[in-house]
Amino acid sequence: MPRDLACGLAAFALLPVWAEEGLPQRAPVTQFAPLLRAALDAPGGTAHGVLAGLVAAAFKRQFGTGGEIDIDVSTIVRYAQPGCARLRVDVSQEGVKLSAQAAPQRQQVRFELNYCSDGLPPRSLATGAAR
């Protein structure tokens, strides 16, 4: 991930809000970090948001779509170090055109990272008790 994108995706706090049907309502975020921390703190280990702000506008303009950029974070494993886990991040957007001639389609990027609530990687990858 380019440094500018990573820096551009790390500031608003996210309070998870759940719909009656059990599906997440996505709160707007301008950075990934609040969602990463929310997933670390959530009893179920997940957090959901939608990218907003200048970075989202640039992506929408680049790919010729008004589709929301959804971000889903889930905990894969919790480490022994408090507040640290391996997280999976799924970023998806509908209506993406990869070229002027291409049909709009859903695009998704998935990546994983080791992350702690202080924003640093864990000191050790020893696993803790599952939560």
Q: How far apart are CA 26 and CA 49, in angstroms?
A: 4
For 20-65, the pLDDT digits (tens) are 455 567 889 999 999 999 999 999 999 999 999 999 999 899 888 8
Q: What CA–CA distance (Å, rounded) separates 12 from 30?
A: 7
**pTM of the entire predicted model:** 0.76
Question: What pLDDT does 85 receive?
Answer: 96
pLDDT tens string 60-116: 998 888 999 999 999 999 999 999 999 999 999 998 888 888 888 899 999 999 999
64: which DSSP letter? Answer: T
Domain spans of the chain? 25-116
* Spatial CA neighbour of 64 closest among 108, 95, 33, 92: 95
Phi first, then psi: what are they for 27, rounded to 5°? -85, 145
